[in-house]
Homo-oligomer: A and B are copies of this chain.
Amino acid sequence: MAVETAWVGRLVSREHKREDTVISVGKATIGGPHLTVIAGPCAVESREQVLNAARLVKAAGATILRGGAFKPRTSPYSFQGLGKEGLAYLAEAGQKTGLPVVSEVIEAGDVPLVSQYVDILQIGSRNMQNYALLRRVGKSSRPVLLKRGLAATMEEWLLAAEYIMDAGNPAIILCERGIRTYETATRNTLDLGAVPVVKALSHLPIIVDPSHATGNSAYVLPLAKAALGAGADGLMVEVHPCPRQALCDGDQSLSPEEFKELMDQVRRLSGALGRGVVKP
């Protein structure tokens, strides 16, 4: 069946640009023939923790380091992140390991601050339709990683990317991270159908976050492989030097050994899928 394209935005659509968008950040590329793996802790907890995490994910083959400094949390009484201090630790860990870093920005006014420390600006699920924030990162020179909203349709998600691109920033990485459904056996329902649909409708790269989707480290490896099978351009996974001590999302964080195993399997799979893995 022919793919329906009438509903998409303009600038993000395949009609506007036939060839795939490839985004380069340091030595990493997202969207080309090679797979990218973004890894690191949910939250930056300390200088030592994020440095350890950076070293171990680099050693296993990750190409980009992640870590949250500003954490949007459902309850005002939950740990909200280390803020500017966390950004500094993350940037230092990136420099010492040679990995570009990505971290979330949750407020338009914080874009200049966060941009000083990170290579990629992340827009989280809760902010996918925070249009003031979208327009602000649309004026930044940093690439933007745009997570799908918890209950956003693919159309709404692509139109959120359209806001960023319409504001002037064409370097957008889409990230599927699970949607809200009635099922409770996993935290969210990873919608891998979004990968081929987005690829059909848009030229933007798309990666998958199996950690937030499942909320359970036991399911991260199979869903990471599933994401690559579906055609994703890469993965974003949570890795913690010691998941049991994590201040945030420990249940879904991979241990160093689990992440090493994931990277081994990703490499094995990438050949069969006709894609290499970016060398860190």
User: What is A's interface to B at a CB cutoff of 8 Å?
Assistant: 1-3, 9-10, 72-77, 106-109, 126-127, 129-132, 150-151, 153-156, 159, 162-163, 166, 179-186, 189-197, 200, 213-214, 216-219, 222-231, 251-252, 268-269, 271-273
Contact = CB atoms under 8 A, between A and B. Distances in A.
Given A213-B193, A226-B229, A229-B222, A181 B184 contact: no
Given A183-B191, A231-B222, A131 B154 contact: no
A129 B107 CA distance: 12
Contacts of A251: 1
Nearest to A228: B229
Number of copies of this kind of chain in the complex: 4
A229 B273 CA distance: 11
A166 B269 CA distance: 39
A204 to B, nearest CB: 15
B166 A193 contact: no
B129 A72 contact: yes
Contacts of A213: 193
A189 B186 contact: no
A70 to B, nearest CB: 9
A75 B185 contact: no
B181 A74 contact: no
Contacts of A189: 179, 181, 189, 191, 193
A197 B186 contact: yes
25 contacts: A1-B217, A1-B251, A72-B129, A74-B129, A74-B159, A76-B163, A77-B166, A126-B130, A151-B151, A180-B182, A184-B184, A186-B193, A190-B192, A192-B192, A192-B223, A197-B219, A200-B218, A222-B230, A226-B226, A226-B227, A229-B229, A229-B230, A268-B272, A272-B272, A272-B273
Among A109, A150, A163, A252, which residue has the most Cβ atoms of chain B within 10 A? A150
Given A3-B216, A109-B108, A229-B226, A183 B192 contact: no
A197 B215 CA distance: 12
Given A225-B273, A226-B229, 13 more contacts: A1-B218, A1-B252, A151-B180, A151-B182, A153-B185, A179-B181, A184-B184, A185-B193, A186-B197, A189-B189, A190-B193, A195-B222, A222-B231
